[in-house]
Structure 1
Protein backbone atom coordinates (compact mmCIF):
# COMPACT_ATOMS: atom_id res chain seq x y z
CA UNK A 1 0.00 0.00 0.00
CA UNK A 2 1.13 3.54 -0.69
CA UNK A 3 -0.68 6.87 -0.30
CA UNK A 4 0.82 10.14 -1.52
CA UNK A 5 -0.66 13.50 -0.51
CA UNK A 6 1.28 16.75 -0.58
CA UNK A 7 4.46 16.47 1.48
CA UNK A 8 3.47 13.14 3.01
CA UNK A 9 3.68 9.47 2.08
CA UNK A 10 1.97 6.69 4.02
CA UNK A 11 3.18 3.12 3.45
CA UNK A 12 4.20 -0.04 5.27
CA UNK A 13 7.82 -0.50 6.33
CA UNK A 14 9.75 -2.34 3.63
CA UNK A 15 13.13 -2.86 5.30
CA UNK A 16 14.97 -3.03 8.60
CA UNK A 17 15.97 0.59 8.04
CA UNK A 18 12.30 1.59 7.83
CA UNK A 19 11.56 -0.19 11.12
CA UNK A 20 14.58 1.48 12.74
CA UNK A 21 13.25 4.88 11.65
CA UNK A 22 9.92 4.09 13.32
CA UNK A 23 11.82 3.03 16.44
CA UNK A 24 13.71 6.35 16.39
CA UNK A 25 10.41 8.25 16.38
CA UNK A 26 9.12 6.05 19.20
CA UNK A 27 12.26 6.87 21.21
CA UNK A 28 11.71 10.61 20.76
CA UNK A 29 8.04 10.40 21.77
CA UNK A 30 7.95 7.70 24.45
CA UNK A 31 11.39 8.05 26.05
CA UNK A 32 12.40 11.68 25.55
CA UNK A 33 8.93 13.25 25.80
CA UNK A 34 7.03 10.88 28.08
CA UNK A 35 9.79 9.50 30.28
CA UNK A 36 9.49 5.81 29.40
CA UNK A 37 12.21 3.47 30.62
CA UNK A 38 14.80 2.45 28.03
CA UNK A 39 17.73 0.05 28.17
CA UNK A 40 21.32 1.29 27.78
CA UNK A 41 21.32 -0.20 24.27
CA UNK A 42 18.16 1.71 23.35
CA UNK A 43 19.62 4.96 24.68
CA UNK A 44 22.79 4.43 22.69
CA UNK A 45 20.89 3.73 19.46
CA UNK A 46 18.15 6.28 20.29
CA UNK A 47 15.59 3.64 19.27
CA UNK A 48 12.70 2.25 21.35
CA UNK A 49 12.25 -1.43 20.45
CA UNK A 50 11.20 -4.81 21.81
CA UNK A 51 10.96 -8.48 20.89
CA UNK A 52 7.54 -7.98 19.27
CA UNK A 53 8.75 -5.65 16.50
CA UNK A 54 9.74 -8.37 13.98
CA UNK A 55 6.22 -9.85 14.12
CA UNK A 56 4.29 -6.65 13.39
CA UNK A 57 3.62 -4.67 10.25
CA UNK A 58 4.80 -1.08 10.72
CA UNK A 59 2.67 1.65 9.14
CA UNK A 60 4.72 4.81 8.50
CA UNK A 61 3.87 8.45 7.92
CA UNK A 62 6.85 9.93 6.05
CA UNK A 63 7.44 13.68 5.85
CA UNK A 64 9.20 14.14 2.52
CA UNK A 65 9.93 17.79 3.37
CA UNK A 66 11.43 17.19 6.80
CA UNK A 67 14.25 19.59 7.65
CA UNK A 68 16.69 16.74 8.29
CA UNK A 69 18.14 14.84 5.35
CA UNK A 70 18.65 11.77 7.55
CA UNK A 71 16.06 9.11 6.55
CA UNK A 72 15.84 8.16 10.23
CA UNK A 73 14.31 11.57 10.94
CA UNK A 74 11.75 11.58 8.13
CA UNK A 75 9.25 9.21 9.77
CA UNK A 76 6.71 11.54 11.41
CA UNK A 77 4.15 8.95 12.50
CA UNK A 78 3.95 5.22 13.08
CA UNK A 79 1.65 2.35 14.06
CA UNK A 80 2.43 -1.28 14.84
CA UNK A 81 -0.20 -3.57 13.31
CA UNK A 82 -0.84 -7.26 13.95
CA UNK A 83 -3.83 -9.22 12.65
CA UNK A 84 -5.24 -12.15 14.58
CA UNK A 85 -3.87 -14.48 11.92
CA UNK A 86 -0.38 -12.99 12.34
CA UNK A 87 -0.64 -13.35 16.14
CA UNK A 88 -1.60 -17.02 15.92
CA UNK A 89 1.30 -17.74 13.58
CA UNK A 90 3.83 -15.71 15.57
CA UNK A 91 4.44 -14.39 19.04
CA UNK A 92 0.85 -13.58 20.00
CA UNK A 93 -0.72 -10.23 20.85
CA UNK A 94 1.39 -7.69 22.73
CA UNK A 95 -1.62 -6.62 24.82
CA UNK A 96 -1.93 -10.11 26.33
CA UNK A 97 0.68 -9.03 28.91
CA UNK A 98 -1.85 -6.51 30.26
CA UNK A 99 -5.32 -7.86 29.39
CA UNK A 100 -7.05 -11.21 29.09
CA UNK A 101 -7.59 -11.25 25.31
CA UNK A 102 -9.12 -14.72 25.10
CA UNK A 103 -12.32 -13.38 23.54
CA UNK A 104 -10.34 -11.72 20.77
CA UNK A 105 -7.93 -14.59 20.19
CA UNK A 106 -10.93 -16.86 19.57
CA UNK A 107 -12.97 -14.25 17.69
CA UNK A 108 -14.48 -15.86 14.56
CA UNK A 109 -13.58 -12.97 12.22
CA UNK A 110 -10.40 -11.01 11.62
CA UNK A 111 -9.08 -8.76 14.37
CA UNK A 112 -6.27 -6.21 14.41
CA UNK A 113 -4.09 -5.09 17.30
CA UNK A 114 -2.71 -1.55 17.16
CA UNK A 115 0.33 -0.59 19.17
CA UNK A 116 3.09 1.96 19.65
CA UNK A 117 1.05 4.64 17.89
CA UNK A 118 2.86 7.97 17.84
CA UNK A 119 3.13 11.15 15.79
CA UNK A 120 5.88 13.74 16.04
CA UNK A 121 4.89 16.85 18.00
CA UNK A 122 4.81 19.16 14.99
CA UNK A 123 2.31 16.98 13.12
CA UNK A 124 -0.17 16.10 15.87
CA UNK A 125 -3.71 17.02 14.96
CA UNK A 126 -2.78 18.11 11.43
CA UNK A 127 -2.98 16.75 7.91
CA UNK A 128 -0.32 14.11 8.48
CA UNK A 129 -2.17 12.53 11.36
CA UNK A 130 -5.37 12.34 9.32
CA UNK A 131 -3.45 10.76 6.44
CA UNK A 132 -1.99 8.14 8.79
CA UNK A 133 -5.53 7.24 9.82
CA UNK A 134 -6.48 6.99 6.15
CA UNK A 135 -3.66 4.50 5.64
CA UNK A 136 -4.89 2.54 8.65
CA UNK A 137 -8.36 2.48 7.08
CA UNK A 138 -6.91 1.05 3.86
CA UNK A 139 -5.03 -1.63 5.79
CA UNK A 140 -8.23 -2.59 7.64
CA UNK A 141 -10.32 -2.67 4.45
CA UNK A 142 -7.83 -4.78 2.50
CA UNK A 143 -7.69 -7.42 5.25
CA UNK A 144 -11.40 -7.47 6.11
CA UNK A 145 -10.68 -6.60 9.73
CA UNK A 146 -13.85 -6.35 11.81
CA UNK A 147 -12.54 -5.63 15.32
CA UNK A 148 -9.62 -3.32 16.03
CA UNK A 149 -8.11 -3.01 19.50
CA UNK A 150 -5.07 -1.92 21.42
CA UNK A 151 -3.89 -0.28 24.61
CA UNK A 152 -3.98 3.52 24.72
CA UNK A 153 -2.30 5.59 27.37
CA UNK A 154 -2.71 8.44 29.79
CA UNK A 155 0.60 10.11 30.63
CA UNK A 156 1.83 9.44 34.16
CA UNK A 157 1.63 6.32 36.31
CA UNK A 158 -0.57 7.78 39.09
CA UNK A 159 -4.24 6.83 38.87
CA UNK A 160 -5.53 9.42 41.38
CA UNK A 161 -5.38 12.47 39.01
CA UNK A 162 -7.22 10.38 36.39
CA UNK A 163 -10.28 9.62 38.53
CA UNK A 164 -12.55 11.77 36.38
CA UNK A 165 -11.60 10.44 32.90
CA UNK A 166 -11.30 6.80 33.97
CA UNK A 167 -14.66 6.89 35.73
CA UNK A 168 -16.25 8.58 32.71
CA UNK A 169 -14.90 5.88 30.39
CA UNK A 170 -16.14 3.11 32.68
CA UNK A 171 -19.67 4.44 33.01
CA UNK A 172 -20.18 5.66 29.44
CA UNK A 173 -17.96 3.64 27.10
CA UNK A 174 -17.59 0.14 28.54
CA UNK A 175 -17.44 -2.51 25.80
CA UNK A 176 -20.39 -4.86 25.31
CA UNK A 177 -20.09 -8.12 27.21
CA UNK A 178 -19.00 -10.24 24.24
CA UNK A 179 -15.98 -7.95 23.61
CA UNK A 180 -15.28 -6.82 27.18
CA UNK A 181 -11.66 -7.76 27.74
CA UNK A 182 -10.46 -7.36 31.31
CA UNK A 183 -7.13 -6.32 32.81
CA UNK A 184 -5.23 -9.30 34.17
CA UNK A 185 -6.02 -9.92 37.87
CA UNK A 186 -2.48 -9.24 39.07
CA UNK A 187 -2.51 -5.83 37.36
CA UNK A 188 -6.21 -4.90 37.56
CA UNK A 189 -6.90 -1.27 38.53
CA UNK A 190 -10.57 -0.36 38.88
CA UNK A 191 -11.76 2.49 36.67
CA UNK A 192 -15.01 3.28 38.51
CA UNK A 193 -13.07 5.36 41.02
CA UNK A 194 -15.81 7.95 41.53
CA UNK A 195 -19.55 7.32 41.93
CA UNK A 196 -21.53 8.26 38.79
CA UNK A 197 -22.98 11.45 40.28
CA UNK A 198 -19.50 12.83 40.97
CA UNK A 199 -18.22 12.49 37.40
CA UNK A 200 -17.88 15.85 35.65
CA UNK A 201 -18.18 15.13 31.94
CA UNK A 202 -16.46 18.35 30.80
CA UNK A 203 -13.51 17.82 33.14
CA UNK A 204 -13.26 14.16 32.16
CA UNK A 205 -13.18 14.96 28.45
CA UNK A 206 -10.57 17.65 29.00
CA UNK A 207 -8.24 15.05 30.51
CA UNK A 208 -8.80 12.28 27.95
CA UNK A 209 -5.97 12.21 25.36
CA UNK A 210 -6.89 13.21 21.81
CA UNK A 211 -6.20 9.74 20.39
CA UNK A 212 -8.60 8.07 22.83
CA UNK A 213 -11.28 10.67 22.06
CA UNK A 214 -10.80 10.02 18.34
CA UNK A 215 -11.51 6.31 18.83
CA UNK A 216 -14.56 7.10 20.95
CA UNK A 217 -15.93 9.39 18.21
CA UNK A 218 -15.67 6.42 15.84
CA UNK A 219 -17.78 4.31 18.18
CA UNK A 220 -14.98 2.83 20.27
CA UNK A 221 -15.32 1.15 23.67
CA UNK A 222 -12.96 0.39 26.53
CA UNK A 223 -12.27 -2.88 28.30
CA UNK A 224 -12.75 -3.31 32.02
CA UNK A 225 -9.97 -2.14 34.29
CA UNK A 226 -6.84 -0.08 33.69
CA UNK A 227 -3.20 -1.17 33.70
CA UNK A 228 -0.45 0.93 35.29
CA UNK A 229 2.66 0.63 33.11
CA UNK A 230 5.51 1.97 35.22
CA UNK A 231 8.14 1.24 32.56
CA UNK A 232 6.34 3.55 30.13
CA UNK A 233 5.12 5.98 32.82
CA UNK A 234 1.50 5.56 31.69
CA UNK A 235 -1.92 4.34 32.75
CA UNK A 236 -3.31 2.17 29.96
CA UNK A 237 -6.86 1.36 28.90
CA UNK A 238 -7.78 -1.19 26.24
CA UNK A 239 -9.72 0.34 23.36
CA UNK A 240 -11.88 -1.74 21.03
CA UNK A 241 -13.70 -0.68 17.89
CA UNK A 242 -15.91 -2.10 15.18
CA UNK A 243 -14.00 -1.05 12.06
CA UNK A 244 -16.96 -0.39 9.75
CA UNK A 245 -16.96 3.34 10.49
CA UNK A 246 -13.21 3.69 9.86
CA UNK A 247 -13.54 1.83 6.55
CA UNK A 248 -16.33 4.21 5.53
CA UNK A 249 -14.03 7.17 6.25
CA UNK A 250 -11.24 5.59 4.17
CA UNK A 251 -13.60 5.01 1.22
CA UNK A 252 -14.95 8.54 1.58
CA UNK A 253 -11.40 9.91 1.38
CA UNK A 254 -10.76 8.13 -1.89
CA UNK A 255 -14.09 9.07 -3.45
CA UNK A 256 -13.31 12.74 -2.73
CA UNK A 257 -9.66 12.42 -3.73
CA UNK A 258 -10.78 11.07 -7.09
CA UNK A 259 -12.70 14.32 -7.55
CA UNK A 260 -9.55 16.33 -6.85
CA UNK A 261 -10.34 17.41 -3.31
CA UNK A 262 -7.70 15.53 -1.35
CA UNK A 263 -6.28 18.80 -0.02
CA UNK A 264 -9.61 19.66 1.63
CA UNK A 265 -9.95 16.18 3.12
CA UNK A 266 -6.53 16.54 4.69
CA UNK A 267 -7.39 19.91 6.25
Structure 2
Protein backbone atom coordinates (compact mmCIF):
# COMPACT_ATOMS: atom_id res chain seq x y z
CA UNK A 1 0.00 0.00 0.00
CA UNK A 2 1.31 3.46 -0.89
CA UNK A 3 0.59 6.17 1.66
CA UNK A 4 1.19 9.84 1.01
CA UNK A 5 3.33 11.46 3.68
CA UNK A 6 2.02 14.67 5.33
CA UNK A 7 2.05 17.65 3.01
CA UNK A 8 3.90 20.81 4.01
CA UNK A 9 4.02 24.08 2.12
CA UNK A 10 7.43 25.13 3.42
CA UNK A 11 10.54 23.07 2.96
CA UNK A 12 11.81 21.92 6.40
CA UNK A 13 15.01 23.41 7.72
CA UNK A 14 17.77 21.42 9.36
CA UNK A 15 20.27 23.12 11.64
CA UNK A 16 22.76 25.43 9.94
CA UNK A 17 25.57 23.07 10.88
CA UNK A 18 24.28 20.66 8.25
CA UNK A 19 25.47 22.98 5.51
CA UNK A 20 29.13 22.07 5.93
CA UNK A 21 29.39 20.30 2.58
CA UNK A 22 31.66 17.81 4.36
CA UNK A 23 29.95 14.79 2.89
CA UNK A 24 28.62 16.09 -0.42
CA UNK A 25 31.15 14.25 -2.48
CA UNK A 26 31.65 13.33 -6.04
CA UNK A 27 30.52 9.78 -5.53
CA UNK A 28 27.12 10.23 -5.02
CA UNK A 29 25.89 13.78 -5.32
CA UNK A 30 22.38 12.43 -5.17
CA UNK A 31 22.76 9.69 -7.77
CA UNK A 32 20.66 6.56 -7.21
CA UNK A 33 22.47 3.74 -5.40
CA UNK A 34 19.72 1.21 -5.96
CA UNK A 35 16.13 0.73 -7.10
CA UNK A 36 13.47 -1.86 -6.37
CA UNK A 37 10.15 -1.16 -8.07
CA UNK A 38 8.97 2.28 -6.99
CA UNK A 39 11.61 2.49 -4.22
CA UNK A 40 14.84 4.37 -4.85
CA UNK A 41 17.78 4.64 -2.44
CA UNK A 42 20.41 7.37 -2.42
CA UNK A 43 22.19 9.77 -0.10
CA UNK A 44 20.59 13.03 1.01
CA UNK A 45 21.41 15.84 -1.41
CA UNK A 46 20.60 18.85 0.71
CA UNK A 47 19.49 20.31 4.02
CA UNK A 48 15.78 19.82 3.34
CA UNK A 49 16.22 16.10 2.75
CA UNK A 50 18.23 15.67 5.97
CA UNK A 51 15.55 17.57 7.88
CA UNK A 52 12.86 15.38 6.33
CA UNK A 53 14.80 12.27 7.38
CA UNK A 54 14.95 13.67 10.91
CA UNK A 55 11.17 14.06 10.81
CA UNK A 56 10.79 10.41 9.78
CA UNK A 57 13.04 9.42 12.67
CA UNK A 58 10.93 11.50 15.07
CA UNK A 59 7.73 9.84 13.92
CA UNK A 60 9.21 6.39 14.49
CA UNK A 61 11.37 6.85 17.60
CA UNK A 62 9.26 9.39 19.49
CA UNK A 63 5.67 9.20 18.27
CA UNK A 64 5.60 5.43 17.75
CA UNK A 65 8.21 3.99 20.13
CA UNK A 66 7.97 6.52 22.95
CA UNK A 67 11.49 7.94 23.21
CA UNK A 68 11.89 10.74 25.77
CA UNK A 69 11.27 14.14 24.16
CA UNK A 70 12.97 17.43 24.91
CA UNK A 71 11.02 20.68 24.62
CA UNK A 72 12.93 21.50 21.43
CA UNK A 73 11.99 18.14 19.91
CA UNK A 74 8.33 18.60 20.80
CA UNK A 75 8.33 21.99 19.08
CA UNK A 76 10.47 20.99 16.10
CA UNK A 77 9.25 17.40 15.63
CA UNK A 78 12.67 16.22 14.49
CA UNK A 79 15.14 13.72 15.89
CA UNK A 80 18.42 15.61 15.54
CA UNK A 81 21.76 15.59 17.33
CA UNK A 82 25.33 16.84 16.87
CA UNK A 83 26.30 13.71 14.90
CA UNK A 84 23.93 14.50 12.04
CA UNK A 85 26.23 17.06 10.36
CA UNK A 86 29.04 14.48 10.37
CA UNK A 87 27.06 11.70 8.75
CA UNK A 88 25.86 10.71 5.34
CA UNK A 89 22.13 10.08 5.38
CA UNK A 90 20.95 7.13 3.33
CA UNK A 91 17.34 7.60 2.23
CA UNK A 92 14.67 5.43 0.64
CA UNK A 93 12.15 7.31 -1.49
CA UNK A 94 8.78 6.12 -2.73
CA UNK A 95 8.89 7.58 -6.22
CA UNK A 96 5.17 6.89 -6.74
CA UNK A 97 4.18 9.53 -4.19
CA UNK A 98 3.20 13.03 -5.26
CA UNK A 99 4.64 16.24 -3.87
CA UNK A 100 8.20 17.51 -3.40
CA UNK A 101 10.95 14.90 -3.35
CA UNK A 102 11.90 15.38 0.30
CA UNK A 103 8.31 14.46 1.21
CA UNK A 104 8.71 11.02 -0.37
CA UNK A 105 11.24 9.70 2.19
CA UNK A 106 10.00 6.47 3.77
CA UNK A 107 13.16 5.06 5.37
CA UNK A 108 16.60 6.15 6.47
CA UNK A 109 19.98 5.05 7.83
CA UNK A 110 22.73 7.25 9.23
CA UNK A 111 26.28 6.43 8.08
CA UNK A 112 29.41 7.66 9.90
CA UNK A 113 32.84 6.84 8.50
CA UNK A 114 35.84 6.26 10.75
CA UNK A 115 37.99 9.15 9.54
CA UNK A 116 35.18 11.65 10.09
CA UNK A 117 34.32 10.23 13.51
CA UNK A 118 37.99 10.31 14.58
CA UNK A 119 38.34 13.97 13.61
CA UNK A 120 35.17 14.85 15.53
CA UNK A 121 35.84 12.97 18.77
CA UNK A 122 34.52 9.49 18.11
CA UNK A 123 31.56 7.41 17.02
CA UNK A 124 28.06 7.78 18.48
CA UNK A 125 28.25 4.25 19.86
CA UNK A 126 31.36 5.06 21.91
CA UNK A 127 29.00 6.55 24.47
CA UNK A 128 27.91 2.97 25.20
CA UNK A 129 30.71 0.64 24.09
CA UNK A 130 34.52 0.62 24.26
CA UNK A 131 35.73 0.84 20.65
CA UNK A 132 39.29 2.12 21.08
CA UNK A 133 40.90 -1.31 21.38
CA UNK A 134 38.76 -2.79 18.62
CA UNK A 135 39.85 -0.13 16.15
CA UNK A 136 43.49 -0.36 17.29
CA UNK A 137 43.51 -4.13 16.64
CA UNK A 138 42.53 -3.56 13.00
CA UNK A 139 44.61 -0.62 11.71
CA UNK A 140 44.21 -1.69 8.09
CA UNK A 141 40.41 -1.70 8.21
CA UNK A 142 38.05 1.21 7.61
CA UNK A 143 35.12 1.25 10.02
CA UNK A 144 31.60 2.45 9.24
CA UNK A 145 28.98 3.04 11.92
CA UNK A 146 25.36 2.32 10.97
CA UNK A 147 22.77 4.09 13.08
CA UNK A 148 19.30 5.64 13.39
CA UNK A 149 17.79 2.97 11.17
CA UNK A 150 14.05 3.39 10.72
CA UNK A 151 11.28 2.82 8.20
CA UNK A 152 7.74 4.18 8.27
CA UNK A 153 5.26 1.49 9.40
CA UNK A 154 3.51 1.03 6.08
CA UNK A 155 6.85 0.42 4.33
CA UNK A 156 8.25 -2.23 6.68
CA UNK A 157 8.69 -4.86 4.03
CA UNK A 158 11.44 -6.97 2.54
CA UNK A 159 11.65 -4.61 -0.44
CA UNK A 160 12.44 -1.57 1.70
CA UNK A 161 15.12 -3.42 3.66
CA UNK A 162 16.63 -4.68 0.41
CA UNK A 163 16.68 -1.14 -0.97
CA UNK A 164 18.56 0.08 2.12
CA UNK A 165 21.09 -2.75 1.79
CA UNK A 166 21.62 -1.96 -1.88
CA UNK A 167 22.55 1.55 -0.81
CA UNK A 168 24.82 0.34 1.98
CA UNK A 169 26.66 -2.02 -0.38
CA UNK A 170 27.23 0.71 -2.95
CA UNK A 171 28.53 2.95 -0.16
CA UNK A 172 30.94 0.42 1.35
CA UNK A 173 32.19 -0.55 -2.12
CA UNK A 174 32.99 3.05 -2.93
CA UNK A 175 34.73 3.87 0.34
CA UNK A 176 36.49 0.54 0.80
CA UNK A 177 34.81 -0.14 4.13
CA UNK A 178 36.12 -3.22 5.94
CA UNK A 179 33.93 -3.31 9.04
CA UNK A 180 30.38 -2.19 9.78
CA UNK A 181 29.41 -1.58 13.39
CA UNK A 182 26.61 -0.03 15.40
CA UNK A 183 24.03 -0.46 18.11
CA UNK A 184 20.87 -2.52 17.75
CA UNK A 185 18.04 -2.15 20.21
CA UNK A 186 15.52 -4.17 22.18
CA UNK A 187 12.45 -2.23 23.40
CA UNK A 188 12.19 -1.12 27.01
CA UNK A 189 14.76 -0.56 29.73
CA UNK A 190 14.70 -3.94 31.48
CA UNK A 191 17.22 -6.47 30.08
CA UNK A 192 15.51 -9.27 32.01
CA UNK A 193 12.42 -8.76 29.84
CA UNK A 194 14.55 -10.12 26.97
CA UNK A 195 16.37 -12.77 29.02
CA UNK A 196 15.99 -15.63 26.55
CA UNK A 197 17.05 -13.64 23.48
CA UNK A 198 19.96 -11.89 25.22
CA UNK A 199 21.23 -15.12 26.77
CA UNK A 200 21.12 -16.78 23.35
CA UNK A 201 23.14 -13.91 21.88
CA UNK A 202 25.66 -14.10 24.72
CA UNK A 203 26.30 -17.80 24.17
CA UNK A 204 25.88 -18.28 20.42
CA UNK A 205 26.52 -14.95 18.70
CA UNK A 206 29.39 -13.34 20.60
CA UNK A 207 32.34 -11.74 18.89
CA UNK A 208 35.61 -13.66 18.95
CA UNK A 209 38.74 -12.23 20.58
CA UNK A 210 39.80 -10.38 17.43
CA UNK A 211 36.53 -8.45 17.27
CA UNK A 212 35.58 -8.31 20.93
CA UNK A 213 33.89 -5.17 22.26
CA UNK A 214 32.61 -4.55 25.78
CA UNK A 215 30.02 -2.12 27.11
CA UNK A 216 31.59 0.87 28.86
CA UNK A 217 32.28 0.67 32.58
CA UNK A 218 29.37 1.89 34.62
CA UNK A 219 26.81 1.06 31.93
CA UNK A 220 27.57 -2.63 31.45
CA UNK A 221 24.61 -4.99 31.93
CA UNK A 222 25.07 -8.73 31.59
CA UNK A 223 23.36 -10.48 28.69
CA UNK A 224 23.77 -13.90 30.33
CA UNK A 225 20.50 -13.81 32.25
CA UNK A 226 19.34 -17.42 32.48
CA UNK A 227 20.80 -20.94 32.27
CA UNK A 228 21.66 -21.64 28.66
CA UNK A 229 20.09 -25.10 29.04
CA UNK A 230 16.74 -23.41 29.58
CA UNK A 231 16.93 -21.33 26.40
CA UNK A 232 14.77 -22.44 23.50
CA UNK A 233 16.72 -21.34 20.43
CA UNK A 234 13.68 -20.97 18.19
CA UNK A 235 11.82 -18.89 20.75
CA UNK A 236 14.90 -16.77 21.48
CA UNK A 237 15.41 -15.90 17.83
CA UNK A 238 11.71 -15.22 17.32
CA UNK A 239 11.80 -12.76 20.23
CA UNK A 240 14.59 -10.68 18.71
CA UNK A 241 13.80 -7.36 16.97
CA UNK A 242 13.85 -7.61 13.15
CA UNK A 243 16.98 -5.45 12.89
CA UNK A 244 18.94 -7.78 15.19
CA UNK A 245 17.79 -10.85 13.27
CA UNK A 246 18.66 -9.16 9.99
CA UNK A 247 22.19 -8.39 11.13
CA UNK A 248 22.69 -11.96 12.36
CA UNK A 249 21.55 -13.34 9.00
CA UNK A 250 24.34 -11.54 7.18
CA UNK A 251 26.95 -12.83 9.64
CA UNK A 252 27.11 -10.14 12.34
CA UNK A 253 28.46 -10.89 15.82
CA UNK A 254 27.45 -9.30 19.13
CA UNK A 255 29.71 -7.61 21.70
CA UNK A 256 29.96 -8.27 25.44
CA UNK A 257 27.18 -6.77 27.51
CA UNK A 258 24.18 -4.59 26.81
CA UNK A 259 23.46 -0.98 27.75
CA UNK A 260 20.24 0.68 28.88
CA UNK A 261 19.48 3.81 26.84
CA UNK A 262 16.92 5.72 28.89
CA UNK A 263 16.49 8.50 26.34
CA UNK A 264 15.22 6.09 23.70
CA UNK A 265 13.82 3.54 26.19
CA UNK A 266 15.86 0.69 24.74
CA UNK A 267 18.34 -2.00 25.68
CA UNK A 268 21.23 -1.75 23.22
CA UNK A 269 23.64 -4.42 22.02
CA UNK A 270 26.73 -3.82 19.90
CA UNK A 271 26.93 -5.30 16.42
CA UNK A 272 30.16 -6.03 14.51
CA UNK A 273 30.08 -7.01 10.82
CA UNK A 274 33.48 -7.53 9.15
CA UNK A 275 32.66 -7.25 5.46
CA UNK A 276 34.86 -10.20 4.46
CA UNK A 277 32.90 -12.45 6.83
CA UNK A 278 29.47 -11.59 5.43
CA UNK A 279 27.84 -14.60 3.81
CA UNK A 280 28.60 -15.01 0.11
CA UNK A 281 24.96 -15.22 -0.90
CA UNK A 282 24.31 -11.77 0.58
CA UNK A 283 27.40 -10.31 -1.06
CA UNK A 284 26.30 -11.71 -4.41
CA UNK A 285 22.68 -10.66 -3.95
CA UNK A 286 23.25 -7.08 -2.84
CA UNK A 287 26.72 -6.55 -4.24
CA UNK A 288 25.83 -7.08 -7.88
CA UNK A 289 23.27 -4.30 -7.87
CA UNK A 290 25.48 -2.08 -5.74
CA UNK A 291 28.40 -2.44 -8.14
CA UNK A 292 26.19 -1.44 -11.06
CA UNK A 293 25.01 1.75 -9.37
CA UNK A 294 28.44 2.61 -7.90
CA UNK A 295 30.26 2.25 -11.21
- With normalisation by structure 2, the TM-score equals 0.82
Whether 1:85 and 2:115 are equivalent positions in the alignment is yes
- String of CA shifts for 1:136-181, please: whole Å, max 9, x gaps: 1111111111110100001111112100000000000000112111
Q: Give the match for residue 199 of structure 1.
A: 231
Q: Give the match for residue 266 of structure 2.
A: 234
1:62-73 alignment, distance < 5 Å: 62-66=93-97, 69=99, 71-73=101-103
Q: Give the match for residue 260 of structure 1.
A: none
Q: Give the match for residue 252 of structure 1.
A: 288
Q: Any idea what SS the aligned residue of 1:185 has?
A: coil
Counterpart selection for 2:51 from 13, 16, 20: 20
- String of CA shifts for 1:68-92, please: whole Å, max 9, x gaps: 6355542111111111111112242
Whether 1:208 and 2:240 are equivalent positions in the alignment is yes
In the TM superposition, structure 1's runs of 4+ consecutive aligned residues that sit over 6 Å from their partners are none
Cα distance change on mapping 1:6 and 1:222 into 2, 3 Å? same
1:143-162 alignment, distance < 5 Å: 143-162=175-194
Deviation at 1:61, TM superposition (A): 0.6
Q: Give the match for residue 54 of structure 1.
A: 85
Q: Tell me if structure 1 keeps the 8 A contact 2:207–2:253.
A: yes
Whether 1:169 and 2:205 are equivalent positions in the alignment is no
Q: Tell me if structure 2 keeps the 8 A contact 1:155–1:233.
A: yes
RMSD over aligned CA atoms reads 1.8
- String of CA shifts for 1:49-107, please: whole Å, max 9, x gaps: 111111111111111223x6355542111111111111112242000000001134323
- Measured in 2, the distance between the counterparts of 1:235 and 1:149 equals 17
- Measured in 2, the distance between the counterparts of 1:155 and 1:92 equals 26
Q: Any idea what SS the aligned residue of 1:186 has?
A: coil
Whether 1:31 and 2:62 are equivalent positions in the alignment is yes
Q: Any idea what SS the aligned residue of 2:45 has?
A: coil
- Measured in 2, the distance between the counterparts of 1:254 and 1:42 equals 35
Unpaired runs of at least 5, structure 2: 1-27
- With normalisation by structure 1, the TM-score equals 0.90
Q: Any idea what SS the aligned residue of 2:267 has?
A: strand
Q: Give the match for residue 224 of structure 1.
A: 256
Q: Tell me if structure 2 keeps the 8 A contact 1:123–1:129.
A: no
Cα distance change on mapping 1:230 and 1:255 into 2, 3 Å? closer
Whether 1:105 and 2:135 are equivalent positions in the alignment is yes
Cα distance change on mapping 1:20 and 1:254 into 2, 3 Å? closer
- Measured in 2, the distance between the counterparts of 1:217 and 1:5 equals 21
Q: Tell me if structure 1 keeps the 8 A contact 2:134–2:212.
A: no
Q: Tell me if structure 2 keeps the 8 A contact 1:140–1:247.
A: no
- String of CA shifts for 1:158-216, please: whole Å, max 9, x gaps: 11210000000000000011211100110000001111101111211111011111111
How many equivalent pairs are there?
256
